[in-house]
A and B are shown apart, each in its own frame.
Chain A
Amino acid sequence: MIPEIGSFALVLALLVALVQGSLPLIGAQRGIPAWIALARPASSMLFLLIAVAFGCLTASFINNDFSVVYVAQHSNSRLPLEYRISGVWGGHEGSLLLWVLMLSLWSLAVAAFSRSLPDDMVARVQGVLGLVAAGFLLFILLTSSPFERLLPGAEDGRDLNPLLQDPGLIFHPPMLYMGYVGFSVAFAFAIAALLSGRLDAAWARWSRPWTTAAWIFLTLGIGLGSIWAYYELGWGGWWFWDPVENASFLPWLVGTALIHSLAVTEKRGSFKNWTVLLAIGAFSLSLLGTFLVRSGVLSSVHAFASDPKRGIFILVFLAVVVGSSLTLFAWRAPKVSLGGAFALMSRETLLLINNVLLLSAAGAVLLGTLYPLVIDALNLGKLSVGPPYFNAVFTPLMVPLLFLMAVGPVARWKHTSLAEIARPLRWAFGIAVAAGVSIPFFYGGWSGSVALGMGLAIWIVGASVLQILARTRSGLPPRAFWGMHLAHMGVAVTVVGIVMVTQYESERDVRMAPGDTVKTGDYQIRFLGVEGISGPNYNAAKGNLELLKDGQLVMPLHPEKRKYLSSAMPMTEAFIDPGLTRDIYVSLGDPLEGGDGAWSVRVYYKPFVSWIWGGAVLMALGGLLAASDRRYRLKSTAARAGKLAAQGAAS
């Protein structure tokens, strides 16, 4: 009964989404107040119905209802409760349901926090969100309903993929989806502005906190995914340039460019067309990401067995979204005014360079990700683009970006001079050069890339600290100021992590018999042996190893090699001793021939690896400060005037 209610709720949701996606848009265009007024209640209704459907699926998982195909494929009666709940989004159908749930949540949030916006603007934004929701609900109902029944019902479920039985999975996909889907709000604002012809500073101001909010979730989602890959996949890497990772990174790069371009549009009224294009781009790349992950066209870490036919639907949907928004753009853009002029040396120019660099990086990643797919689709052979390509392209583009990151906030709008920039930054520059050059000598030996990376990180932090000191002398700066500097310092922290771990890590796969010792970093690791244990839904070989420093025991290490009962699928559980300046990482390989109880053991020493994710957390916190700045919560005069005008037009 419960699955049928869920199914029914989804059909109703589609109808509501179609209403939300049509009447308010037409109403706003023709000035019909009753139709405009539909937008807010429709979005509440949409959220309610999708939440009911999501609740029904969750209930089926909790009740172990294996007569539902999706539950039978992704759960098992022995699966612990928390994974039965997170199993809801452990497969294709459920993740899509989560996708639309997030979308309706964003739509609801826009309705709730947009009291200061003119009603016709709200109607247009909700209308666009309604259309996107309708597309995805149609997709779910036509190709991937999670509520399909299995007759007769299965005795027990196939179990959730052991890789996904992990706390990381509970949070990683919802975070990532919140980010992906969040760009639909920026997209909806851009389309609404194009439709109404009011592409102005007020529009940029409304979009900014929403774009930043989406970016925060995406940043955390990517960070969590990276942590999960690090400890759960058992390879100890934090980024693989895997197509699906790239798919989440592309909207992040374009979204970051969008945040900076929006700043110019709000403060100076320039870059309007460009900002609209970025908003369309960020959302299109989110859709592309969904397509890549969900269509099964990729040979990747994330490529779980799936149905390629579904890809066609998303591809068509993507084509419709991109095609129609670009057509609208081409029609409306020539009427948009150009905004304030600026000198060559100005903050506008620096932010323009920021955008060019970020988009070049995004273009390079897109090329490397899509090229193999296109070649394969054209039957020209199978090939892949390896991490060396991405590293070779990405690093040179990031160096100027990081350098200018410290300069941008110092530069004034409109016009600035070299002296104005150089004077406050000269100390930061001196310290950065001195520290950058000397740090590699203190830590494991000279390396040019460490000097460059550390120098840039210190340069960014130094510049931020100097500016904060200068600014706080004349009263408390607004949250947006703190947010920007915190986010920039977060990038610096991530850079430190990346540079140090890339240059000074040690990765060894070794054969170890009981009693053997290997050296890693300043530590030794002794292998004692392996014993059998059993968990709630698995049996495992548990390794007994010791971490030693100067012959003294620091701690015992217990990596595991698990075999899950329901699927007999083996699973490596790495044991990590995390630390501020280094992680010790051990995992078990396989028992080796030779009769001496030897195993292959993976021993990694990862200096500063946790800084990579610490930096992401700082970036997200910075985003939170910036998005919650006071001026977004004040009713701006422009917004009030717009609202009055809309009311005037309505009456």
Chain B
Amino acid sequence: MKPRQKRLAIIVGGLATLGIAATLILNAFQSNLVFFFTPTQVANGEAPKERAFRIGGLVKEGSLQRSDIVARFIVTDTAKEIPVAYEGILPDLFSEGKGVVAQGVLSADGKFTATEVLAKHDENYMPPEAQAAVNKAHEATRTLKQ
């Protein structure tokens, strides 16, 4: 091969590799985005039915039931509530009245089956999503009152 052809081959090969990598990446990216919804948005039917998404808010006081390996609790943004079921062990800092973020799917009857309850690692730390959900609900009620 002449040097020019060689250089061309390297450039074409490099671009092809990059192209394949980019396609792979963007494909996987599209199908793995997990969106976040507040309990109010879920109650309004904005959340997807089949696809997994995240919810966040506060764990309602007195709502946690843990008789079996499945834990049941209610997530609220102080305006709307969603019942959540999670099979497994809850993270250490999960507690009633505190913020929580969970990932899972919504069933037809409005119950949320979580596959993951996100842990936080500082008792004073509020997950930004949970905080945002509560703030949003507060804003909404304020506008309603006015």
Residues in chain A within 8 A of chain B (CB atoms): 161, 163, 233-235, 299, 301-305, 341, 343-344, 349, 352-353, 356-357, 360, 363-364, 367-368, 371, 381-386, 388-389, 392-393, 396-397, 509-511, 567-572, 587, 589-590, 592-594, 600, 602
Contacts and interface: CB of A to CB of B under 8 A. Distances in A.
Interface string B79-95: 00000000111101100
Interface size class of B (residues with CB under 8 A): 35 or more
A353 B16 CA distance: 12
Contacts of A356: 14, 17-18
B29 A389 contact: yes
A302 B132 CA distance: 19
Nearest to A512: B69
Contacts of B123: 567-569
B10 A349 contact: yes
A301 B120 CA distance: 6
A304 B32 contact: no
Given A511-B68, A592-B67, A600-B69, A305 B125 contact: yes
A341 B3 contact: yes
Scoring B3, B28, B120 by chain A CB atoms within 10 A of each residue's CB, the highest score goes to: B28
Given A368-B29, A383-B33, A592-B66, A302 B92 contact: no
B107 interface: no
A392 B32 contact: yes
Contacts of A360: 17-18, 21, 25
Contact of A600 (B6, B35, B89): B89
Contacts of B33: 383-385, 389
Contacts of A163: 121
> Across chains A and B, which 6 residue pairs bring their CB atoms closest together, nearest first?
A589-B89, A389-B32, A382-B36, A392-B28, A360-B21, A593-B67
Nearest to A305: B125
Interface of B: 1, 3, 6, 9-10, 14, 17-18, 21, 24-25, 28-29, 31-36, 54, 65-69, 87-90, 92-93, 101, 103, 118-125, 127-129, 132
14 contacts: A161-B121, A299-B101, A360-B17, A360-B21, A360-B25, A381-B35, A381-B36, A384-B36, A389-B29, A393-B25, A568-B123, A569-B92, A572-B92, A592-B67
A354 to B, nearest CB: 12
A368 B29 CA distance: 8
A367 B29 contact: yes
A509 B36 contact: no
Given A344-B10, A569-B123, A592 B93 contact: no
B130 to A, nearest CB: 9
A393 B23 CA distance: 10
A509 B54 contact: no
A344 B36 contact: no
A164 B34 CA distance: 30
A644 to B, nearest CB: 37
A277 to B, nearest CB: 15
Nearest to A397: B21
Contact of B34 (A343, A383, A593): A383
Contacts of A510: 69
A304 B101 contact: no
Contacts of B129: 299, 382
A590 B66 contact: yes
Given A305-B124, A305-B125, A381-B36, A509 B66 contact: no
Nearest to A564: B123
Contacts of B127: 299
